[in-house]
Amino acid sequence: MNDHGTPVRIQRIRRTRAYEEIVRQLQALIAEGHLKPGDRLMTERELAEQFGVSRVTVRQALSVLQAMGLTESRIGNGTYARKSEAAVVTVLAPVLNPPHSGLLEQLELRRLIEPEVARLAAKRATPAQTQDMAHFIELQEQMLSAGRSFVDEDSAFHLAIARSAGNDLVFRMMASIHDLLRDTREKSLNTREGMIHSLAGHRQILEAILRQDPKAAHRATLRHIRAVEAGILRNHQPTTRSDESQNDDA
């Protein structure tokens, strides 16, 4: 129900990548005028209950909607719909996601972008933003203890870093392509060993950001991505050209 008391129809989620369906439904509600500019959305907890998903999934969807310019977050006051005509909807994802994009190409893209994003985050992250990162790490620990893969929680952690970089264009770009990079996360997190190594890398990245050490954040992120790459190469046969990244300078 919106602020005007009008019932808003929300369908429970059936898809594997649930956040995409949440984005689609909320985007449609805004475009069709069911959610008007200035209307406050339900809380994360309420949306999670309505959609039948976790709050992490809702948070991912809201991050994408904000990157698209369709919503805005007001600290301490919730998330609000914005004018759809003011939205900036990026086209990077379809351009960068050809049908046969390979894992090594995705990893190379991550190495080019994510260490620099972490460097900015170490300079600019607020206490509230680092708390979000820590929260996603806690969720990953819980999933690991339960023997479940934490692909969504992994994505949410990296999006939280991008948000804290303090550059709206960087965040929009990362939000637009983070699903493209999902393959690398699914492949690296399909074993317990992979999840343990990934979690350790995330802790090191967060520690560097908390210390406000940009160089350490850059190094920790690059080391993390290279560890992900090594794990994937051990367990999967790549479909693209050989990669020479191990000889790159950090």
- Average pLDDT of every residue of the chain: 81
Same domain, 224 and 122: yes
Residue 179 lies in a domain: yes
Last residue of a domain, one of 61, 86, 111: 86
- The arithmetic mean of pLDDT across residues 147-165, rounded, is 88
Backbone angles phi, psi at 154, to 5 degrees: -65, -50
Residue 119 lies in a domain: yes
CATH at 26: 1.10.10.10
Would you state the pLDDT for residue 207? Answer: 98
Is the confidence at residue 119, as pLDDT, over 80? yes
Q: Look at the chain and report how many structural domains it folds into.
A: 2
Q: Are 65 and 204 in contact (CB under 8 A)?
A: no
Distance set, CA 23 to CA 45, 67, 99 (Å): 16, 11, 22
Region of 69 on the Ramachandran plot (φ > 0 left; ψ -120 to 50 alpha; else beta): left
- The arithmetic mean of pLDDT across residues 79-97, rounded, is 57
Same domain, 213 and 150: yes
pLDDT band at 30 (very low <50, low <70, confident <90, very high): confident
Least Cα distance to 46 among 72, 75, 22 occurs for 22
Question: What's the CA gap between 202 and 207, in Å, rounded?
Answer: 9
**CA 237 to centroid of chain Cα atoms:** 26
Is the confidence at residue 197, as pLDDT, over 70? yes
CA terminus-to-terminus distance, the chain = 51
Distance set, CA 111 to CA 17, 119, 135 (Å): 24, 13, 24
Q: Poorest-confidence range of 8-12, 131-135, 141-145?
A: 8-12
Question: What's the CA gap between 189 and 163, in Å, rounded?
Answer: 23
Would you state the pLDDT for residue 162? Answer: 93
- The arithmetic mean of pLDDT across residues 99-107, rounded, is 70
Would you state the pLDDT for residue 250? Answer: 45
Q: Poorest-confidence range of 14-23, 123-132, 216-225, 233-242?
A: 233-242
Residue 141 lies in a domain: yes
Least Cα distance to 160 among 171, 149, 152 occurs for 171
Reduced 3-state DSSP string for 103-117: HHHHHHHHHHHHHHH
The domain containing residue 61 runs over which residues? 18-86
